[in-house]
Amino acid sequence: MDQSSRSSASPAVGRALDILVRLAEGPGPVRAAVLARDLGLPRSSVYHILAVLVDRGFVVYVPGEQAYGLGVTSFEIGSAFLRHEPLERLAQPILHQLARQLGQAVHLGILHGNETVYLLKERPSSGPAAEVSLITDIGVRLPAHLTANGRAILATLPDAQVKALYSRRSDFITRTGRGPRTLTELRRALEEVRVRGWADEVELVTPGLRSVGAAVFDHNSRPVAALSTTWRILTFPEPEVVEQALRWGADRLTSRIAGHAPPRA
């Protein structure tokens, strides 16, 4: 079946996908009237499709701009493509090199909803860090706003998407009594990450431990994953040294998946 036959067989599906692709191509939210004009669709059809996409989480409405942008579900589907074996295969040798260089555990994580999910973990074969007990095993989920891995990704998302992920007060889970408790506090923390270009967390997940994270980007400069490393606070007093190595690893993985990092804030 050719493309024209498929489109005529399910026009609503085709139009919905066209809208998602158009939103993905733009630098920010797009008004419904612009979508209708660019795609040559009736406005009534565009509003109807957008309502369904918003209800399913593929699209979010930004009241301040009276426009629409990609939602959490769209992001999760995009992340799912790269979080499977190809991404892990490309990341594994980088993590192995970083673990040996830093002498501490290094992780590959993704964002799933408002949680960090760890896909890979490399530990040094010897040394003090090899004995450090961590909860960040493969498959473990942790609140993204507490982890350096999650913060590195959250900081590069549109504000509307972060707001959608943290729309309830109950979303702000705490593990050690520290960390942001409101959307305002989270935005402040993420702005610091954007300015620095890397994320940091100190005893937000586990007392006595510190982590640094750096995001990995796709060809549209959107975050698809992050690299992070964790160590005992007293054993490595210079996080800048860790940050430089980790950002090198994140940049290398971004390049391997033909991605491009966005400009620094």
Same-domain check for residues 28 and 144: no
Same-domain check for residues 142 and 190: yes
Domain for residue 131, yes or no?
yes
Same-domain check for residues 41 and 114: no
* Rounded mean pLDDT, 188-200: 93
* Listed residues 70, 88, 105: the one ending a domain: 70
Domain for residue 116, yes or no?
yes
Q: 57 vs 82, which has greater pLDDT?
A: 57
Domain for residue 262, yes or no?
no
Same-domain check for residues 127 and 242: yes
> Which spans in the chain are helix H?
3-9, 11-25, 32-39, 43-55, 72-82, 85-102, 148-154, 159-165, 183-196, 239-256
Same-domain check for residues 94 and 162: yes
Same-domain check for residues 86 and 34: no
Decide: 160 and 60 in contact? Cβ < 8 Å.
yes
Number of domains in the chain: 2
Domain for residue 117, yes or no?
yes
Residue from 216, 202, 218, 111 nearest 154 by CA: 111
Same-domain check for residues 110 and 168: yes
String of b and e for 79-93 (b: at least 16 CB within 10 Å)? beebbeeebbebbee
Same-domain check for residues 24 and 127: no
* Listed residues 40, 70, 100: the one ending a domain: 70
Mean pLDDT over each residue of the chain, to the nearest integer: 85
- Mind listing the pLDDT tens digit for each residue in 116-169? 999 999 988 765 554 555 666 777 889 999 999 999 999 999 998 999 899 888
Three-state DSSP class for residue 191: helix
CATH of the domain at 225: 3.30.450.40
Decide: 58 and 161 in contact? Cβ < 8 Å.
no
Domain for residue 192, yes or no?
yes
| Long-range contacts (CB closer than 8 Å, 24 or more residues apart) made by 160-164 | 160/29, 160/60, 160/62, 160/69, 161/60, 161/69, 161/70, 161/71, 161/72, 161/75, 162/186, 162/187, 162/190, 164/57, 164/60, 164/71, 164/72
Domain for residue 58, yes or no?
yes
Decide: 58 and 73 in contact? Cβ < 8 Å.
yes
* Listed residues 54, 70, 86: the one ending a domain: 70
Tell me what pLDDT residue 6 has.
Answer: 41
Decide: 216 and 86 in contact? Cβ < 8 Å.
no
Residue from 236, 114, 124 nearest 167 by CA: 114
Same-domain check for residues 22 and 120: no
Where residue 175 falls among pLDDT bands split at 50, 70, 90? confident
* Rounded mean pLDDT, 225-251: 86
CB neighbourhood size of 188 (10 A): 11
Same-domain check for residues 84 and 53: no
CATH of the domain at 27: 1.10.10.10
Say yes or no to pLDDT of 5 above 50: no
Tell me what pLDDT residue 247 has.
Answer: 94
Decide: 64 and 162 in contact? Cβ < 8 Å.
no
Domain for residue 184, yes or no?
yes
Same-domain check for residues 91 and 149: yes
Q: What is the reported pTM?
A: 0.68
Same-domain check for residues 114 and 245: yes
Strand ranges of the sheet holding 115-122, from the earlier edge strand across to the other edge? 141-143, 115-122, 105-112, 223-232, 209-217, 199-202
- Mind listing the pLDDT tens digit for each residue in 73-124? 877 776 665 555 578 889 999 999 999 998 888 999 999 889 999 999 998 8
- Domain ranges, residue 81: 76-256
- Mind listing the pLDDT tens digit for each residue in 24-46? 877 778 999 999 999 999 999 99
| CA atoms of 174 and 213, how far apart (whole Å) | 19
Domain for residue 264, yes or no?
no
Fill in the amino acid letter for 105.
Answer: A
Tell me what pLDDT residue 1 has.
Answer: 36
| CA atoms of 218 and 75, how far apart (whole Å) | 12
Residue from 246, 265, 263, 251 nearest 95 by CA: 246
Tell me what pLDDT residue 129 has.
Answer: 54
Phi, psi of 241 (to 5 degrees): -65, -45
Which range among 52-56, 122-126, 159-163, 215-219 shows the weakest confidence by mean pLDDT? Answer: 122-126
